[in-house]
Amino acid sequence: MTMLTGTQATPLGYSAPLTPEQEIEARAKLIQALQMSLDPNDILAIFFKHLQAIIPMGGIQFRFANNKDITKLGRDALHHCDYRLTTDEGYLGEIIFNRSKRFIESELSTLEILLGALVYPLRNALRYQSALQLALIDPLTRLGNRAALDSALRRELQLAERHHYELSMLMIDVDHFKKINDQYGHSMGDQVLQEIARTIETVCRESDITFRYGGEEFVVLLRKTNDRGARTIGERLRREVNNLLIEKSGHSINPSVSIGISTRAHGQKEHISDLFERADEALYRAKQAGRNCVRDLSDLTPA
């Protein structure tokens, strides 16, 4: 393990260094506690809790290696010391300790000992979370898979009901996909799916969540979007896909998609199956209407 010290405060602190026996005991307790979770945020919370009993600390902040996710515990303070946590497998992130009084050299030495107990449980937790995320990703399109959709839809329905906002779903099917595979091969079929997946993510908003539902079907969850807004997004997506020209091995394909829309029934409890059934029925009507079109609930009334 390599721990590269960044900013360190000048020695004006107040706590006495631990005795060798105390250091051994504190590290043993910390190591035991850190085995209780495989969640990175739980690991950091456990570490902070045990640290408080050893060195007075205002708060800690951990910036993950992706430079996007940050975990903050406790409160910010004027004085701080920073460590970059690295194993022989790579960089884990940066941890920042802060408090109102400056750190002395003996405290910094103790922190480094305690960080030795944190690094590998944290690495294991990050590995585990990464594995979980990969299990929810479709390897071809890099979108969420069906398991991820089930989890996200359950969560989004609960949030929509709790906060009384709209939620819509687009169910998207690539037209004549079997013919593409049969005529041009599965490699071309895969490329078509990848290009359509990229187009969906480009057209949809950052707040929308896209999944590969299976085979040639995709699903998009549209947060805070009513049926009219979903229709607008669906039509824009349909046009963008239809403008694609995908070329491979001397062949070119101009794909199209059919899209069915369902929107959460306002003012009543909705089940996952309800949204799926209505979107699937709307998609069926889109295909019956000749494909390369969008249909929603208003299109389902008998002629």
Q: Confidence class of residue 194 from pLDDT cuts 50, 70 and 90?
A: very high
Instruction: Give the pLDDT of residue 16.
Output: 56
* DSSP reduced 3-state for 103: coil
pLDDT at 270 over 90: no
Residue 206 sits at the vertex; the CA angle it makes with 200 and 208, to the nearest 5 degrees, is 65
> 3-state secondary structure string, 245-269?
CEEECCEEECCCEEEEEEECCCCCC
Contact between 250 and 265 (Cβ < 8 Å): no
Residues in contact with 21: Cβ distance below 8 Å, sequence separation at least 6, in sequence order = none
* Residues labelled as active-site residues: 216
For residue 14, the one-letter residue type is Y
Rounded to whole angstroms, the Cα distance separating 105 from 102 reads: 10
Rounded to whole angstroms, the Cα distance separating 143 from 140 reads: 8
Instruction: Give the pLDDT of residue 71.
Output: 95
Instruction: Give the pLDDT of residue 226.
Output: 92
Domain assignments of the chain as residue spans, ordered by start? 2-135, 146-300
Q: Class of the 146-300 domain?
A: alpha beta
Instruction: Give the pLDDT of residue 5.
Output: 43
Contact between 218 and 197 (Cβ < 8 Å): yes
Q: Confidence class of residue 22 from pLDDT cuts 50, 70 and 90?
A: confident
Q: Confidence class of residue 265 from pLDDT cuts 50, 70 and 90?
A: confident
Rounded to whole angstroms, the Cα distance separating 161 from 148 reads: 20
* Superfamily for domain range 2-135: GAF domain (3.30.450.40)
* DSSP reduced 3-state for 141: coil
Q: Confidence class of residue 302 from pLDDT cuts 50, 70 and 90?
A: very low
**Residue ranges of E strands in 112-201:** 167-174
Rounded to whole angstroms, the Cα distance separating 189 from 38 reads: 39
Rounded to whole angstroms, the Cα distance separating 97 from 56 reads: 10
Rounded to whole angstroms, the Cα distance separating 193 from 213 reads: 12
| Among the listed residues 80, 208, 83, the one whose alpha carbon sits nearest the alpha carbon of residue 143 | 208
Q: Which two tokens stand for residue 201?
A: 């993510």
Instruction: Give the residue carrying structure tokens 């944190």.
Output: 118
**Helix, strand, coil share (%) of the chain residues, nearest 5:** 45, 25, 30
pLDDT at 12 over 60: no
pLDDT in tens, 80-110: 999 999 998 899 999 999 999 999 998 898 8
Instruction: Give the residue carrying structure tokens 């040639």.
Output: 216
Q: What is the pTM of this model?
A: 0.68
Rounded to whole angstroms, the Cα distance separating 223 from 220 reads: 10
Task: 24-27: list long-range contacts, CB under 8 Å, 24+ apart.
Answer: 26/50, 26/53, 26/54, 26/114, 27/113, 27/114, 27/116, 27/117
Q: Which two tokens stand for residue 283?
A: 């998609």
